[in-house]
Amino acid sequence: MSTIVIPPGRCLRTLPRALRPSTAPFSTSTHRSLPAPAKKKTGTFAPPKRGERTLKLKKRDVVRETRPPAPGERKAVRKRIVLSNTNALEPAGLVDLTADMAGAEEVRGRVVGIPGEVVDALRVVEGFKVGQGWAFFRRPAALMRNEVVELAREMEGVEQARGADERAVGSGVRDLGGQTLRKLVYGERGTGKSVLLLQAMATAFLRGWVVISIPEARDLYLGQTEYAPLPNTSPVQYTQNEYTAKLLAQIAKANRPVLSKLKLTHAHNLPIKIKPGLTLDAFAELGVNDPEIAWPVFQALWTELTAPAAEADAEGKAVAVPRPQILLAIDNVAPILRPTQYKTLDADGKLRPIHPQDFVLVKHFLDYFRGARTLPQGGLVLAATSGNETVKSDALSVGIAMAEARVANPENKQLKLGDFWNLYKEMDMRSLEAVMDVEALKLEGLSKAEARAVIEYWAGNGMVRSRVEEGFVGEKWTLAGGGVVGELEKAVVRMRF
Amino acid sequence: MGVELRYGLRRALHSLRAPPTWQQRSCVASSHRTSRPSKAFSTSTSHRQEPFTAAPEINLSAENNIPILKRIRVVPASPSYFSGKPAFTDDLLALQALLRKYQTLPVVETGHAPRIAWRTFESYKSFLGSEPIKASKYQRLVAILHRLNHIHPSLMPQEVKDAMERYKREINPFANVAKPKPVDEWGRAMGLGRRKTSTARAWLVEGEGEVLVNGGSLAQYFGRLHDRESAVWALKATQRLDKYNVFALVRGGGVTGQAEALTLAVAKALLIHEPGLKPALRRAGCITRDPRKVERKKPGHLKARKMPTWVKR
């Protein structure tokens, strides 16, 4: 019998690892000392191990505690317009604007409130803009600055001219010989261009005009509202049906007190049946419900507003139906004075931008703006530029420069384009024609007296911390770049030191 | 040393014959550098030594029959003889004596004496040579000079003037007075200001508080309200915002730098119109140019001071 002698070390190595005797003493008693503190987790901050070439960091899980905002919710918050601050004080002695007051001398340089029903109408036509600071004050009110009072007087003038012409021309004549004012409001950022438009619209509502407003011409330019070619047009014209439907809704709702008293006088060739004797607001709403017919409805409405068929009076004579004056307001006009972002294939098979004046709705407004068409009963076409220059229009800049030159030197009637634009550079002539001979109204900073009036109004709302004194007003006037009203608000109301 | 000791003893003997008053002694001490340099007793280092002749040796033996010498101790004429810093002590004692002599003279009100820039401590030290003196000691000396300077100018003795001359800086910085800039024929005052890398020139005219910066309004040029306030801070701090119109040209740097350069420029222009506003403007921080600039990048650094990450190998 032979025995294999295995050396003890080797013998042990053949045993499984678990059965090998460990060097540490084994004990079943509990530790008498506290356990060693847990090692700090340094894993995420440690440099990579040798041989590894990348640094791996664990990402911390983001725990979402609230529900994500629903689609459109954020935008709604962003676009929300707050017109009152219930914490603000009721300013003492604030009177409401009335139809007669707008052009009166006693309101010049005073802050007047906007009456409730006009506020509702202005809301509908999107006269109030985000970021205008209405939310700081008790209720909407605006300063009747010089330019506003003058504009209101011109609006009165339009009405009187029409009345005089009616008397002169006599009844039964369609062309009422009204006066169409065209104005381009421009000025640096924060000078109150949009608010001037709003005040003009407020005056128009109070005086019983029909207000049609494009609150943001960019919407017609960006290519974000749907468009369709208009059949049987050459060159091809386009309609923006959704937008037109929305516009009709605004017209109907905002001008209901006026339009509900007017009735259809023509028989229109429309794809739907229309009850005779329909009021104009109800007629406009037909286009709201069916965007396909929005453009024909708009055209028909426009005919009704500008050229009503004569009615027979009690003696059987044809009598002109009186129609209200019209205010056309376009804010941020620059985007529709340059090629749009809508694209079409041209004859060479290349994509080219569509010109804004190939859109019938835009062309409709610009025709009145440039004076190619006039309002028979008179009215006002107001366009305002934007201080924000993200969408620039060369044509508009040239138009403004020419208007300024005309103001500076009234004798020089014939201005040369070459003095304002390098003729060897490309220029959108269709757009330029729209603004070449427009009357421009420049808005600048407020005077110190006006600044004081508006700051006192803010103080009346409890929104000014200092006492309103000459030194305070002068200081803020300077810091606001010479009374630029938006900057003034920033310095006085928004800034908290 | 032996020579000096001998000379000192001779003088001591001389003094025994006619015991001097303190003033006389101090006169000797104070004037030995000006009027009678050849007889000067000094223990200071060689660079100030003037030519002198050694005195004959004193015979202390019995033949020289001076009985008093058996009873008294001979001391050196200069009290600083045993001092480690004799030159400084001499100067101090001389000035103290001078002050004692003239302390009854009328003085001008504090702060109304002519401004004099005394030697700096370093300059005085090198003037004395390698003598170790402390700054605090020199301050005592300067304090006496300051007091002497306050003696009414019309009564200032020549002696004091001469003594002070020694401690004046070679170039008097207070004599360098800036040329006053005038308001020009159009009523404009121009000021120049700098901050970081921006330079601003501002012209101030009387007006209603209109501001033009590089041809645009204040609001157009500076978007931040804070920068607008910085630009007109000098006017705002002195309640002059509605008294002047400003037009300014700004170049270089960033927005904040330009605004703060304008602060200085407007303040300087305002000082031309109204020099009395200087203390108010200094309190408002519109006088001192902020000297801070971007620190340069150094080789071996990633930025001015940032070092690359330490790597073990």
One digit per residue, the tens of pLDDT, for chain B of length 313 reads 444 555 555 555 554 544 434 444 443 444 444 434 444 444 444 445 556 676 677 666 666 677 777 787 777 777 777 776 788 888 999 999 999 999 999 999 998 999 999 999 999 999 888 788 899 999 999 999 999 999 999 999 999 999 999 999 988 888 888 888 899 999 999 999 999 999 999 999 999 999 999 999 999 999 999 999 999 999 999 999 999 999 999 999 999 999 999 999 999 999 999 999 999 999 999 999 999 999 999 999 999 999 998 888 7
Q: pLDDT value at position B30?
A: 41
Identify the pLDDT of residue B176. 86
- How close are the terminal C-alpha atoms of chain B, in Å? 67
- Asked if residue A332 and residue A473 are part of one domain, the reply reads no
Same domain, A370 and A302: yes
The answer on A416 and A395 residing in a single domain is: yes
Contact: A478, B209; criterion CB under 8 Å: yes
**Nearest to A212, CA basis, from A180, A181, A155, A252:** A252
* CB-count burial class (<10 Å; 0-12, 13-18, 19+) for A104: middle
Q: Domain extents for chain B?
A: 2-84, 87-175, 189-283
Query: Vertex A155, ends A151 and A159: CA angle to 5°?
Result: 165
Tell me, what's the pLDDT at A36? Answer: 78
The tokens of B265 are what?
């420029």
pLDDT of residue A168: 45
Contact B218 A490 (CB under 8 A): no
Q: Strand A311-312 and strand A318-319: pairing?
A: antiparallel
Do residue A283 and residue A339 come from a single domain? yes
Cβ neighbours for A251, distance < 8 A, ≥ 6 positions apart:
A210, A212, A259, A284, A301
**Sign of CA pseudo-dihedral A418, A424, A425, A427:** positive
- Helix count (H) and strand count (E) of chain B? 11, 5
Q: What is the CA radius of gyration of chain A?
A: 35
Residue A129: partners with Cβ closer than 8 Å, 6 or more residues away:
A81, A194, A215, A331
With a cut of 50, which residues of chain A have pLDDT below it? 1-2, 167-175
Those residues of chain A whose CB sits closer than 8 Å to some CB in chain B are 188-190, 445, 448, 470-471, 474-475, 477-482, 484, 487, 490-491, 495
* CA proximity to B95, closest of B128, B129, B127, B138: B138
- pLDDT computed for residue A53 by the predictor: 77
Contact A190 B225 (CB under 8 A): no
Report phi then psi at A55, rounded to 5: -100, 120
Tell me if A482 is assigned to some domain.
Answer: yes
ipTM: 0.78
The answer to whether A194 and A187 are in contact (CB under 8 A) is no
Domain stops at, among A443, A459, A476: A443
Q: Which of A144, A142, A160 is nearest to A102 (CA)?
A: A144
Same-domain pairing of A352 and A461: no
Same domain, A303 and A424: yes
Distance CA A228, CA A237 (A): 8
Backbone phi, then psi, for B82, in 5-degree steps? -95, 5
- What are the φ and ψ backbone dihedral angles of A238, each rounded to 5 degrees? -125, 150
Q: So what's the pLDDT on residue B87?
A: 86
State phi, psi for B97 to the nearest 5 degrees: -65, -40
Number of domains chain A contains: 2
CB-closest option in A188, A470, A478 to B220 = A188
B218 touches chain A (CB under 8 A): yes
Please tell me which residue of chain A has the smallest CA distance to B237. A475
Q: Which residue of B has its CA nearest to A190?
A: B219
Residue A114 within a domain = no
Neighbours of B140 (CB within 10 A): 13
Domain hosting residue A454, numbered range: 448-494
Query: In 3D, which of B134, B162, B147 has the Cα closest to residue B96?
Result: B147
Task: Give yes or no: residues A344 and A479 share one domain.
Answer: no
Residues A323 and A455 in one domain: no
What is the number of H-type helices and E-type strands within chain A?
15, 13
Taking contacts as CB-CB distances below 8 angstroms, the residues of chain A near B228 are 479, 481
Establish if B210 touches chain A: CB-CB under 8 angstroms: yes
Classify residue A45: in a domain, yes or no.
no
CB atoms A448 and B220 under 8 Å: no
What CA–CA distance (Å, rounded) separates A437 from A440? 9
Given a contact cutoff of 8 angstroms between Cβ atoms, the answer to whether B241 and A475 are in contact is yes
Size of interface A-B (CB pairs under 8 A): 51
Q: With CB atoms and an 8 Å threshold, state whether B219 touches A482.
A: yes
CA dist A319 and A333 (Å) reads 38
- Look at chain A and count its residues: 497
A479–B218 C-beta distance less than 8 A: yes
* Chain B residues within 8 A of A491 when measuring between CB atoms: 225
The 3 state secondary structure assigned to A417-430 is HHHCCCCCCCCCHH
Which residue, of A408, A423, A443, is where some domain finishes? Answer: A443
Q: A187, A193 in Cβ contact below 8 A?
A: yes
B313 touches chain A (CB under 8 A): no
Residue A423 shares a structural domain with residue A462: no
Report the candidate in A461, A454, A460, A462 with the shortest Cα–Cα distance to residue A476: A454
Cross-chain residue pair B236–A475, CB shorter than 8 Å: yes
Distance from CA of A478 to the nearest CA of B (A): 6
pLDDT at A40: 65
B216 three-state secondary structure: strand
Could A475 and B219 be called an inter-chain contact, meaning their C-beta atoms sit closer than 8 Å?
Answer: no
Do A331 and A433 share a structural domain? yes
In Å, how far is A476's CA from the nearest CA of chain B?
10
Q: Indicate whether A158 and A224 sit together in one domain.
A: yes
Kindly report the CATH class assigned to B189-283.
alpha beta
Are the beta carbons of B219 and A495 separated by less than 8 Å? Answer: no
| Distance, CA of A125 to CA of B305 (rounded, Å) | 60
Q: Which of A428, A443, A458 is the last residue of a domain?
A: A443
